[in-house]
């Protein structure tokens, strides 16, 4: 299938890239601080983070729309830091599609080929092939404003891939679509990227989208990469409270390390005891925090051990969410597929069981400022 669109993928490497610029109201702003990033050939790497974290700026520097104030960008073996965008051989998919409003769908997709001086026949064949590929065969004669949002985004995608770029860059391509379409489009995008085997960087603030689509995710915070890993590892072993909170929901509890033995740490939580696995060294007696996902906590009638008091109970059909007061902190607990008679009413004491493998122990500096409970920054509007 569309072998003609397939080429050997190349990697992308950013070395100590930074971006600062003068803003009229805020003075000197640094959007990206000394980022190192390596995207493997054929990989889809997502830059995930809240708005203002520098993800889009990073992407635009890779595209060549913006020049880094420091550092080097490699696409394949070539240093492209000073190469203008039109010579970088990239495909860019914009958030607002950025279709040329005065050209037909065919004209839009053919544009990049015409610029490359392809023959009329070659152009026509390639455009038809790629329009078929994105499911828009027969739409060539229409104008962009005659298409729905989802169709327009497919055209934007077709336009970007028809030139067989070495690199595909996506700037929140699905955020203008409605929720249902977003889900189906992201599957298509992923499928297409796999088929074409093009090295891609994908920017989004939607953690679910990032998890669904990426080989690896770089979570960005304040112009830096907070953690780079696969979705699974990021979720299971977040390096900081920020990462834990950005991918899914997480409880952050302040604890004190009592003693360490056999790779396990005993923790004091306001007089109650907790045990967590330890994979870095941590000083006995020091303050620390633990992260635990709401769905990792089991809850039962009081029977000693970790005990809290239910404060609120929210029934949501497939799950029930509880807020439990525990040693002066609040713990969120989610119970899926709840039993019919399950009813820990507010005010009732409960026993909490947290498997030690599901507890993630962080040093105190790794995010105490963020507070004791982290909700996901989650998908935007």
154: Cβ contacts below 8 Å, ≥ 6 apart: 134, 135, 136
> Which of residues 163 and 276 has its CB atom nearest to other proteins in the complex?
163
Roughly how many angstroms between the first and final C-alpha of the chain, as a whole number?
Answer: 36
- Our finding on whether 145 is near other proteins (CB under 8 A) is yes
Among 7, 115, 284, 357, binds other proteins (CB under 8 A): 115
Among 10, 35, 53, 90, binds other proteins (CB under 8 A): 90
- Our finding on whether 56 is near other proteins (CB under 8 A) is yes
Nearest distance from residue 216's CB to other proteins, in Å?
Answer: 24
> Which of residues 78 and 116 has its CB atom nearest to other proteins in the complex?
116
Among 12, 54, 58, 92, binds other proteins (CB under 8 A): 92
Of 42-50, 56-64, 132-140, 179-187, which segment contacts other proteins by CB under 8 A?
56-64
Q: Are 310 and 324 in contact (CB under 8 A)?
A: yes
- Our finding on whether 67 is near other proteins (CB under 8 A) is yes
Q: Helix, strand, or coil here: 87?
A: helix
- Our finding on whether 17 is near other proteins (CB under 8 A) is no
266: Cβ contacts below 8 Å, ≥ 6 apart: 257, 258, 259, 260, 273, 274, 275
- Our finding on whether 159 is near other proteins (CB under 8 A) is yes
Measured in residues, the chain has a length of: 381
- Our finding on whether 86 is near other proteins (CB under 8 A) is yes
Q: What tokens appear for 128 in the block?
A: 């038809």
Among 38, 40, 52, 85, binds other proteins (CB under 8 A): 85
H helix or E strand, kind and range, residue 264: strand 264-269
Cα–Cα–Cα angle for 50, 56, 59, nearest 5°?
140
- Our finding on whether 134 is near other proteins (CB under 8 A) is no
Cα–Cα–Cα angle for 237, 239, 242, nearest 5°?
110
Q: Is the dihedral of CA 352, 354, 359, 363 positive or negative?
A: positive
- Closest CA relative to residue 326, chosen from 372, 257, 275, 370: 372
- Our finding on whether 248 is near other proteins (CB under 8 A) is no
- Our finding on whether 74 is near other proteins (CB under 8 A) is no
Binding site for other proteins (CB under 8 A): 21, 23, 56-57, 60, 63-67, 84-92, 94-96, 98-102, 111-112, 115-116, 143, 145, 156, 159-160, 163, 169
């Amino acid at each position: 299938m569309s072998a003609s669109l397939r080429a050997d993928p190349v990697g992308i490497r950013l070395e100590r890239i930074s971006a600062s610029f003068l803003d009229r109201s805020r003075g000197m702003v640094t959007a990206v601080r000394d980022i190192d990033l390596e995207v493997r050939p054929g990989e889809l790497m997502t830059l995930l983070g809240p708005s203002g974290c520098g993800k889009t700026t990073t992407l635009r520097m890779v595209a060549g729309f913006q020049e880094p104030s420091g550092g080097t960008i490699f696409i394949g073996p070539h240093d492209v830091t000073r190469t203008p965008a039109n010579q970088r051989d990239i495909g860019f998919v914009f958030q607002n599609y950025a279709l040329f409003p005065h050209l037909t769908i065919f004209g839009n997709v053919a544009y990049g080929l015409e610029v490359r001086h392809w023959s009329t026949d070659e152009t026509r064949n390639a455009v038809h092939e790629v329009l078929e590929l994105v499911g828009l065969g027969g739409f060539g004669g229409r104008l962009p404003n005659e298409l729905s949002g989802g169709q327009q985004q497919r055209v934007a995608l077709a336009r970007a891939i028809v030139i067989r770029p070495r690199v595909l860059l996506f700037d929140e391509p699905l955020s203008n679509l409605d929720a249902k379409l977003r889900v189906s489009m992201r599957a298509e995008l992923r499928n297409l990227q796999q088929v074409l085997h093009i090295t891609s960087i994908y920017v989004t603030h939607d953690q679910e989208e990032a998890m669904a689509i990426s080989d690896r995710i770089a979570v960005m915070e304040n112009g830096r990469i907070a953690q780079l890993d696969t979705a699974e590892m990021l979720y299971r072993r977040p390096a900081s409270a920020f990462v834990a909170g950005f991918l899914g929901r997480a409880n952050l509890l302040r604890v004190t390390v009592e003693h360490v033995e056999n790779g396990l740490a005993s923790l004091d939580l306001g007089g109650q005891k907790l045990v967590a696995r330890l994979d870095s060294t941590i000083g006995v007696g020091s303050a620390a925090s633990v992260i635990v996902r709401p769905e990792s906590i089991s809850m039962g009638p009081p029977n000693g051990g970790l005990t809290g008091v239910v404060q609120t109970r929210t029934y949501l059909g497939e799950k029930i969410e509880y807020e439990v007061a525990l040693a002066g902190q609040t713990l969120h607990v989610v119970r899926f597929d709840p039993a019919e008679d399950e009813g820990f009413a507010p005010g009732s004491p409960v026993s909490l069981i947290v498997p030690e493998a599901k507890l993630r122990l962080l040093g105190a500096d790794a995010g105490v400022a963020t507070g004791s409970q982290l909700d996901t920054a989650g998908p935007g509007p």
